[in-house]
Each structure stands twice: as structure tokens, then as C-alpha cells.
Structure 1
Amino acid sequence: MIKTLEFQGDSLTREISSLADFLDSLVDQKEEILAQELSDPYRMVGNFSSLPTLEDSTKSTVVILSTTEDYEAAIDEIKFTNFLDSAFYHLVNKYGIIAQVYLNTSNQYSRVYPAYDAKNIMDPNIDVKKFNFFYEADLEHNPSKGPVWIPEPYVDPAGKGWILSLIHPVYDGDQLFGVLGIDITVDEIIQSFIDDFEGSFLILNKNGDIVAGSSSAIESLSMPPLKNHVYRETIQSDSFRISDFNLFNSKSREVRKMAKSFILEGNDHFLFEEEAYLEDAVCYPFEVLDWYMVKINPRVQ
């Protein structure tokens, strides 16, 4: 399971590197592209496009944030990067696990595919450079200028489950032009593997949060009750709080001890002594992500 998931990650790393090469070519040719005086399919008025894009599957959502230092330069950036729409479209439709693809520039212009209702969702006053999906790719954090996995996954507020972000910087000479990103829904692919394997499995992040897991594993570790005994449904409920499903917050002292053994001490086996229904647990670390797969073995009665 770990190798298959990380193989998907390797494929997407190659994809974002290819996308970065394409954007790099657009940046290099920006003067020639702008000289063609191509029509702007977005017709920006203030922060937002004056044309509806939600019903057009070939269009992104484009925003110029109020924090831009040069609005006209941002307009030009939109124009010479419009070719990204086609690349974004094909990438999202190639991989079912991709939630969205995007570009954020140092000049505070944002392009996201698929399109979303930016006027009602996006705060136009934010500074994208203060978010980890931007600064983790800058020269200070990423001197190699290559692809970067954001180390912390998050739970998507729109109900898509756990999201991982893969980002890649693009430079204009020595200056950071912008950062490409791919947001990936990992909940579904992980859960499908867990359902296919016999036994009680958990996927944990480095903080001890349960990313995914079989109901038998989660319910055996003194965690809160699951909605319909399904963790995916629990994640998508309005009352979900990830801190409730952190092994370090388990009501069981021994489960907390297990989390410490695996995550903080680097052990790969834990023997239960006090839990009446649990025998032991085995931990398998991921190679690319700071995640762990844990198999919980019940005590034979």
C-alpha cells in the first residue's frame, strides 16, 4: 500500500515538474506573447473576472489580490499565462485524485482550476506569500528550486477529506515569478487500499492524527465514536475536529504510549499489556511523507 501510494506521488512530481517547465517557457517568451495582443478571456475588473467561469470547464478562476504592487503587471501576467488553462484542464482530468491545480505569483495574481466562486469565497486582501503553499517553495525554504511536498496535510472544508499539496517554483531570472501547486485528495485512495487489505489498519501523520483507517482499528483505540462506523463520513461531518482523532489524545494511556513509541521514538513494534482486546501493533513508515501505516492486531480470546 505504501509503495503504491508513493508511486502515485512520484507520477505527480513528474507532472508538476513538466508543468513548471511549460510555465518557465511562457515566462521566457512573455514579451513575444504580449506583443501578439491576444484577447483576454477573463476581462478583469478590480480583483475579479467580469465574465462567469463556473460553467466553463475549460476556464480557471483568476484573481488579482488587493496586495498586488503592480496591477497592470498582474494583468500582463494573466495574459501570457492563459495557456496554462489547457494544461491545468488536461492534468486534472488525467488524475482522479487531483482536487485542483493553481498558480500564485509574487505579484499576487492567482489562477485556480477547476473554477470556483471566488467572489463569495476568496478574501481579496490576503497576501499569498504568507501561506505555506507559496513560501515553502521560495529560495530560502527550497534552494534546489525543485518540487516540494508540503509536510502537513489538511482536511478540506468542502468535504473532500484529506488534502496534500505538491508545489514547484518558477523563476524569472533570479526573481521568483510564482509557485505552481497541485492539491491532491488522498483520503479516497488510501481508504480504498485499507478496504482491500484484511486486518485493522491506520494511517497517521507525524503529529499522531489519523489520516485514514478501518473502523475496527479506530474504534479499538479508545477514540470518539464514528459516524455510521465509517471514518470518511466522520471527517466530512460538520462536527469533525481532527484533534479528537489524535492518538496522543486517546482516552487509553497505553494507546498514547504506543503513539509515542512509533512517532517520537522510532520503534516499529508495540506490545499491549493493559488493553484486554489488543495484542500488539506494527508500524511501517512512509519514505516520502512523514506518515506511518500501523496494523493493529487483536488479542486472541
Structure 2
Amino acid sequence: MDYDLGNLENEIKNLGDILQGYFEKKDSILAVADRGRYKFQGGIANAIPNEDPNLSTIYISSKAQNMDEVMDLLYLTNPIDHHFKELFEKYEVLSQVYFNSKLQINRLYPPYDANTMLEPDLHIPSFNFYYEADLDYNPEKKTVWVKDIYIDPVGKGWVASLIHPVYVEEDLKMVLGFDITVNDLIEFYLNNTSRNLVIIDGAGTVVAGKSKGIEALSLPPLKNFTYNQTIKADNFRMEDFNLFRSKSKEVRKLASKVILSGEESFFLKDGQESVAISVVKMDRMDWFVLDIVFE
């Protein structure tokens, strides 16, 4: 997993370089831009069910204030659709590729049903997949993994996000994003082994895991989010799925030893069941992989 995530980090940096190149050639690109490429209904273009599969879905919030700047950004970045599609098809674990701008525009591939899933007046910079890359959170202007998993506003369920700020001089033009769904983490990594693995983040919250392993930690079974309403703000995993909130005192102790003390092996006995747990901290994210062996 670390190896694959490293490849994604390299890809998002390269994508940022491509976008910076567009800004360097802004006048010449805008001079020949296809201004009729997207047909808008309200603030949305190329949405399911009548989408062009080669193009992104575009969302412009009603909070956008300068439509001339918004449309210039859209026309300038039209060529990025090809790169978005290419990356999406290259990496099976990627669920979506996108950028967000403080101008209140989102460009995302593959296309989705934006009319149903998004409120018309979202304030894009108030979401963690934008602000965790800005100067306040990321003064080094580096590629970062969003700290918490969260419910994706466009219907993918629980996701982990890699984000990368794109600056022109000192102006943050946009934040690129790659999303990986928790379901795909389970499918591509955890389900490819017979071991009972559980992944937790640096706060002790379960990111993903085998059901048997999660149950051994005295936590409720994980279920994916059901979309019965649109997402209007950051929405993170509930405290029910945090080891520090486990009903087992021994599991709460284990969480302290893993996260606060860095210990790597444990023996846990809860009632009649005994388990041995080995822990490895991931290199690229503040996540821990717990290997749970039933004895």
C-alpha cells in the first residue's frame, strides 16, 4: 500500500506541474480555447445521465463572485480532462481525480450526478479537501494526505484524499485531489490477504478492516455511508469507531500504547478469547496497520 501511495504522490505532483504550465501560457491557451465545450444548466455541466465520458463534471457554486475569472479558469484548464481520465484509468484504486478553486469551481473526473448530489451554494474552501492544503494548514506548500477519512460529497462514501496545492507565485490557484474509497482499500489490500488486518488513524479511529478483526477490538461493524441527503460540510467517522471509545478497557489501553507510546506488539484477552496483535506504522500516512491473530 505504501508503494502504491508513493506512486500517487508522484503523479499528483506531476499533474500540478502541468497545471502550472497552463498558467505560464495562459494568454496563448485562452486565445484558442473551445468556449463551447461545456454546456451549463445552472452551475453544472457534463453531469450524469447525459455525460461525455471523456470530460469532467464541472460544478460552479452560486457563491462564485467573479464569473469572468471562473470561466477563464475553466477554459484554461480544459486540457487537463485528458490527464484526469488517463490517471483514473491507470490506477484502479483511484475513485476520482479533481481540483477545487477558491473561485468556487470544482472539476472532477469521472462524471457524476452533480445535480442530485450537490447543493447549489457550497462554499468550496470550507471543506477539508481544500483548506488542509492552504497556507494556514500547509505552509510548506507540499503534497499532503487529508488527516481524517470523511464522507465524500459526490457519493463515493468514506474516502481518503491526497491533495496538492497549485501555486502561481504566491497565489493558491487550486487544490488537486485524488480520492481512494475505504471500500477500495478493503478490496485491493485487506481482502488480498487471509490475515485479520485493521487500519487505524493517528487519532485511533478505524479507517478500514476485516470484520473479525474489528469485532475483536470491541467495536461495532463498519458500514458504508448511505446517501439519503446531500453533504453540506465536513463529515467525519463517528466516535463509535475509535479505539479510545471501545467498550473494552484493554482495547483502550492498547490504543494508548500504539498511538502514544509507539509499541508494536500486544497480547489481548477479552473474556474467553485471546488475540496477539502486531502493529506497523505506515510510512506515508499517520496510519497504523494492526495484524490480529486469534489464539
Number of matched pairs = 287
Verify: 1:109 aligned to 2:105, yes or no: yes
- The amino acid across from 2:70 in the alignment is A
Distance 1:236 1:142 in 2: 29
- The amino acid across from 1:263 in the alignment is I
Q: 2:126 aligns with which of 120, 124, 130?
A: 130
1:47 corresponds to: 43
The 3 A distance-change label for structure 1 pair 202 and 191 is farther
2:224 corresponds to: 235
Distance 1:297 1:50 in 2: 49
- The amino acid across from 2:39 in the alignment is R
Cα deviation, residue 191, structure 1: 4.5
Verify: 1:184 aligned to 2:180, yes or no: yes
String of CA shifts for 1:72-130, please: whole Å, max 9, x gaps: 11111111111111111111111111111111122112111111122222222122112
- Tell me the secondary structure at the aligned position of residue 141 of structure 1: coil
The answer for unaligned runs of 5 or more in structure 1 is none
Q: 2:20 aligns with which of 15, 18, 24?
A: 24
Verify: 1:205 aligned to 2:194, yes or no: no
Cα deviation, residue 58, structure 1: 0.6
- Tell me the secondary structure at the aligned position of residue 95 of structure 2: strand
TM norm structure 2:
0.86
String of CA shifts for 1:61-81, please: whole Å, max 9, x gaps: 112222222111111111111
- The amino acid across from 1:235 in the alignment is N
Show the 5 A alignment for 1:120-269: 120-156=116-152, 160=156, 162-224=158-220, 226=221, 234-235=223-224, 242-269=238-265
Distance 1:214 1:281 in 2: 14
String of CA shifts for 1:127-182, please: whole Å, max 9, x gaps: 21122211222233223323121121225577755411111111233211111111
Cα deviation, residue 257, structure 1: 1.6
Cα deviation, residue 274, structure 1: 5.5
Cα deviation, residue 296, structure 1: 2.4
Show the 5 A alignment for 1:73-84: 73-84=69-80
Q: 2:7 aligns with which of 11, 15, 27?
A: 11
Cα deviation, residue 12, structure 1: 0.6
String of CA shifts for 1:237-256, please: whole Å, max 9, x gaps: 689x7433332222222122
RMSD: 2.6
Distance 1:106 1:66 in 2: 13
Whichever of the two has the greater Rg, that structure is 1
String of CA shifts for 1:206-261, please: whole Å, max 9, x gaps: 2222222233322323333x4xxxx5xx336689x743333222222212221222
User: Do 2:47 and 2:111's aligned partners in 1 also have CA atoms closer than 8 Å?
Assistant: no
User: Do 2:144 and 2:163's aligned partners in 1 also have CA atoms closer than 8 Å?
Assistant: yes
Cα deviation, residue 198, structure 1: 4.3
Distance 1:200 1:21 in 2: 40
- Tell me the secondary structure at the aligned position of residue 63 of structure 2: coil
1:278 corresponds to: 274
Cα deviation, residue 45, structure 1: 5.1
- The amino acid across from 1:209 in the alignment is T
- The amino acid across from 2:99 in the alignment is L
Show the 5 A alignment for 1:60-79: 60-79=56-75
The 3 A distance-change label for structure 1 pair 298 and 36 is closer
User: Do 2:59 and 2:106's aligned partners in 1 also have CA atoms closer than 8 Å?
Assistant: yes
Distance 1:211 1:25 in 2: 36
User: Do 1:17 and 1:146's aligned partners in 2 also have CA atoms closer than 8 Å?
Assistant: no
Identical-residue share of aligned pairs (%): 37
